[in-house]
């Protein structure tokens, strides 16, 4: 199984099938992922909590790895995510990117950049066009 397949398998197991124990199959105990929360590195236990919180907000998630680049120990992936808001049934769609270094078949370090601004807009938790509002200097309340 190549790195892209490992990542697809992990998303399927963790997010689609709810197998939180699978978190440890791709991450080492010392892995720290950056980019999911501002100025914080999260480990496997934190990722479990993150997944549980996220999955309470959505239903019927679908992940598609759009593009990948593998170079040496590194994998870069562009990921497209679609789901349904659990509260209203409205569809949501966001994209994100992951860069990860593998060691012994598991991720040793990860850097994430997902469009949580758009996600929270679509969830109704931020005003529409929050980025445009912020760029005009308006405070988003």
CATH classification of the domain holding 17? 3.10.450.50
Q: Give the pTM.
A: 0.86
Structural domains of the chain, count: 1
- pLDDT tens digit sequence for 71-121: 999 999 999 999 999 999 999 999 999 999 999 989 999 999 999 999 999
Q: Does a structural domain hold residue 140?
A: no
d(CA 31, CA 119): 26
Q: Does a structural domain hold residue 44?
A: yes
Q: Does a structural domain hold residue 84?
A: yes
d(CA 41, CA 110): 9
For residue 22, the enclosing domain spans: 3-129
């Amino acid at each position: 199984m190549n790195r892209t397949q490992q990542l697809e398998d992990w998303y399927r197991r963790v997010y689609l099938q709810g197998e939180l124990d699978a978190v440890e199959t791709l991450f080492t105990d010392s892995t720290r992922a950056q980019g999911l929360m501002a100025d914080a590195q999260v480990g496997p236990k934190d990722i479990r909590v993150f997944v549980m919180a996220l999955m309470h907000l959505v239903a019927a998630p679908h992940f598609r790895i759009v593009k990948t680049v593998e170079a040496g120990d590194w994998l870069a992936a562009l990921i497209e995510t679609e789901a349904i808001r659990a509260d209203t049934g409205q569809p949501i769609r966001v994209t994100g990117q992951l860069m990860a270094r593998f060691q012994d078949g598991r991720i040793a370090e990860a850097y994430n950049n997902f469009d949580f601004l758009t996600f929270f807009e679509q969830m109704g938790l931020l005003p529409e066009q929050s980025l445009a509002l912020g760029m005009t200097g308006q405070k988003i309340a």
